[in-house]
Chain A
Amino acid sequence: EAQVTQNPRYLITVTGKKLTVTCSQNMNHEYMSWYRQDPGLGLRQIYYSMNVEVTDKGDVPEGYKVSRKEKRNFPLILESPSPNQTSLYFCASRVQGAGNTIYFGEGSWLTVV
C-alpha cells in the first residue's frame, strides 16, 4: 500500500529538548516536504527536498532542520523546541515535477511546554 508514515503521531515535550519527527515513504518519490498547520493559516511549508542530499527552505524554516540521506526518509529535527513550534505537522511526498499530486502522512501533533 502506497503511504507516507510519520512518527511519533503525538508528542508532548519540554522547551529546549531536541526531538526528531521521522517520515518515510514507499512510493519512490523524489520530492518530499514538511508542512506545519496552525488555525487560520493553512499549511505552511517548512522545508522541502527534491532528491537525496538536496534540501531547501520553505516559507517557515526557522527553528527546524532536515536531512535527506536516503530517498525514502526525510526527518524533521527541532534542535531546541520552543512553545511557538506547537503545531500539527505533516510530511508529504510526490513525484518530482509540476502537476503531480502530493501525498500526506497522517500528521504529528507536537506540543512544546
Chain B
Amino acid sequence: QQPVQSPQAVILREGEDAVINCSSSKALYSVHWYRQKHGEAPVFLMILLKGGEQKGHEKISASFNEKKQQSSLYLTASQLSYSGTYFCADEGAGGTSYGKLTFGQGTILTVHP
C-alpha cells in the first residue's frame, strides 16, 4: 500500500515555508524523499533511517517518527528552484516489505516570485 502524502499541492511565494507530510501503514525501516521536475527523473534529497532522526540539506530538512509511521519534509525560505513534485518513499522493516521502496502519490509544490 502506498504511503499517503499531504497536502496534494501547495503554492508559495518566494521566501515562504512549507511542510509536506508522509504517512505509512506499515512498520518502517526508512523513509526516502525525492524531488522531480516535470518530465525528468526523480532526484534524491535524503534518507531517514529508523531511530527518529532529523536530517538537513541546505534549507530542506526532514524528520521521521517511526512509532507514528510518519515523516515530514520541511522547506524553509523557499526558492523558485524548489518548485516540482515531492515524493516520499517508505521502506518496510521486515517480512516481504523489507528493502522494498513504495512511493507516495506526490505533492506538487509551486513557488512564485
Contact = CB atoms under 8 A, between A and B. Distances in A.
Interface residues of A, number: 25
Interface string A27-45: 0000101010000111111
Interface stretch (B10-18, B55-63, B72-80, B101-109): B101-109
SS of B interface (majority): strand
A42 B103 contact: yes
A104 B41 contact: yes
Contact of A102 (B44, B93, B105, B106): B44
Given A99-B29, A99-B49, A107-B39, A44 B103 contact: yes
Contacts, number: 56
Contact of B47 (A40, A41, A42, A101): A101
B87 A42 contact: yes
B99 interface: yes
A42 B104 contact: yes
Contacts of B99: 31, 50, 96-98
Nearest to B87: A42
Contacts of A41: 105
7 contacts: A40-B105, A40-B106, A42-B2, A42-B87, A42-B105, A43-B89, A48-B100
Interface of B: 2, 29-30, 32, 39-42, 44, 47, 49, 87, 89, 91, 93, 98-106
Given A40-B105, A42-B2, 19 more contacts: A42-B105, A44-B2, A45-B100, A48-B100, A59-B102, A90-B41, A98-B29, A98-B30, A98-B91, A99-B29, A99-B49, A101-B32, A101-B47, A102-B32, A104-B41, A104-B42, A107-B39, A107-B40, A107-B41
